[in-house]
Amino acid sequence: MNYTTQMDAARKGTITKEMEVVAKKENVDVEELRSLIAEGKIVIPANKNHTSLDAEAIGQGLRTKINVNLGISKDCPNIEAELEKVQTAIDMKAEAIMDLSSFGKTEEFRNRLINMSPAMIGTVPMYDAVGFYDKELSDISAKEFLKVVEKHAIDGVDFMTIHAGINRETAEVFKRNKRLTNIVSRGGSLLYAWMELNNKENPFFEYYDEVLDICAEYDVTLSLGDACRPGSINDATDASQIKELMVLGELTKRAWEKNVQVMIEGPGHMALNEIQANMLLEKKLCHGAPFYVLGPIVTDIAPGYDHITSAIGGAIAAANGADFLCYVTPAEHLRLPNLDDMKEGIIASKIAAHAADLATNVKGAKEWDYKMSKARQSLDWNTMFDLAIDSEKARRYRAESTPEHEDTCTMCGKMCSMRNMNKVMEGKNINILREDV
């Protein structure tokens, strides 16, 4: 192998096996794909040690991908339950899984996850640091944080969220510009606390070159975290968020100088009318790097339904330039999601992603909808079920309410528009009140 990362290979004119896999999946020209990877507008998160990976790419002109958050916590440390979620997420064809474990046997869970997953794996090393060293946050040294990053890289993590943008300068902007919900990013809040408690610079910013060296060695894609993402509609597009985004743009260029792949993490909570402008800002300030958004959640009032508020925002975001959607479940803001919550979050996020792909004319997106519409027109129920984004639910709903006539459903019966138009177009009588003869 005469290259260090996918970006390095692309810049040298080399087509990697991962590029070939992605080009086939996306139905795009592999040379065009290589060129966009070289420019940093597409990333292929593919750690050299993740041997079970089935490569996917994120970025310009490609299908919108989704990420599923999983992981053990102090209150819910059951590894087997989380691994059941992992298998379900894989079966539901999620392109990425982030391990957000923060307590207990995090290394065991991470290694089992990486070994079994064809989906790309992400982590937030900051979450793992306290348990890794069994130290209070303030007692962990800057270099010890970097050791956790290195451990995750060795284990095979494909992309890591690193909150390097909340440096001392960003923190001062935050202090001068009061927020309703302060810093809601878990990793961002921990780093801010560490900086305040130790009166020191963010270690991921101070030693950013060392982070880049680790990423380059294992080809870890750097997911530059949004510590100052808005946690409420009130805080969206404020000084803290934009200041951090400007820093992330500078860090992106530094990463590219070392052939490290980069994507940028984004908002957060945000009203509908601000989403388009935020997508434009990210692409401008971060030089076209792929954009990874949490939602955006478009209203603060719907706990228990935030998979819906997120899907609304995600569809608008992806239709206006976002490349990667982090799913949100109905349990957001309330508890660790269970298996059913995860399924609902995945489906909502996949709907948002596909809706955006239709709007941006991603290759092949409209073909799926065309096939579904054709099956509906033909009253071909089994094909409809096979094409449905959630086949099991579609079949169950049909089975729960059986119509008198197989070519109808219990909503319209023989007044079904599809049935009657088919008959009329064939020159037949529709026979609503009597049996066909």
Do residues 363 and 28 lie in contact, with contact meaning Cβ atoms separated by under 8 Å?
A: yes
The annotation status of 412 as a binding-site residue, yes or no, is yes
Tell whether 76 is in a known binding site. no
CB of 99 within 8 A of CB of 116? no
Q: Is 326 annotated as a binding residue?
A: no
Instruction: For 174-189, give one letter per residue: b (16+ CB within 10 A) or e.
Output: beeeebeeebbbbbbb
* Spatial distance between the Cα atoms of 150 and 152, rounded to a whole number of angstroms: 5
- Cβ atoms of 73 and 57 closer than 8 Å: no
Backbone angles phi, psi at 99, to 5 degrees: -90, 105
Give me 94's structure tokens: 């999620």
Residue 226, annotated ligand binder? Answer: yes
- Residue 354 in marked binding region: no
Is 395 annotated for ligand binding? Answer: no
The SS3 assignment for 360 reads coil
Q: Quote the crossing angle between the two packed helices 365-377 and 417-425, to the nearest 10°.
A: 70
Q: At 275, which helix (H) or strand (E)? A: helix 272-285
What CA–CA distance (Å, rounded) separates 398 from 396? 5
For residue 152, say whether it is annotated as part of any ligand binding site.
no
Is 110 known to sit in a ligand binding site?
Answer: no
Q: Extract the runs of DSSP E, i.e. beta strands, from 83-139.
A: 96-99, 120-123
Whether 50 has a binding-site annotation, put simply, is: no
The secondary element (H helix, E strand) that includes residue 111 is helix 106-116
Answer yes or no: is 227 a known binding residue.
yes
Q: Is 292 annotated as a binding residue?
A: yes
Q: Are 265 and 294 in contact (CB under 8 A)?
A: yes
- Give the H or E element holding residue 326: strand 324-326
Nearest residue to 274 (alpha-carbon basis) of 236, 310, 303, 221:
236
In angstroms, what CA-CA distances link 392 with 43, 59, 311, 381, 398?
Answer: 33, 31, 21, 13, 10
- Quick one: which H or E segment has residue 58? strand 58-59
Listed in sequence order, the residues at least 6 apart from 399 whose beta carbon sits closer than 8 Å to its beta carbon are none
8 annotated to a ligand binding site: no
Q: Which residues are annotated as a binding site?
A: 69, 98, 127, 163, 185-187, 226-229, 265, 269, 292, 333, 409, 412, 416
Q: Which residues are annotated as a binding site for [4Fe-4S] cluster?
A: 409, 412, 416
Q: Which residues are annotated as a binding site for Zn(2+)?
A: 269, 333
Q: Which residues are annotated as a binding site for substrate?
A: 69, 98, 127, 163, 185-187, 226-229, 265, 292
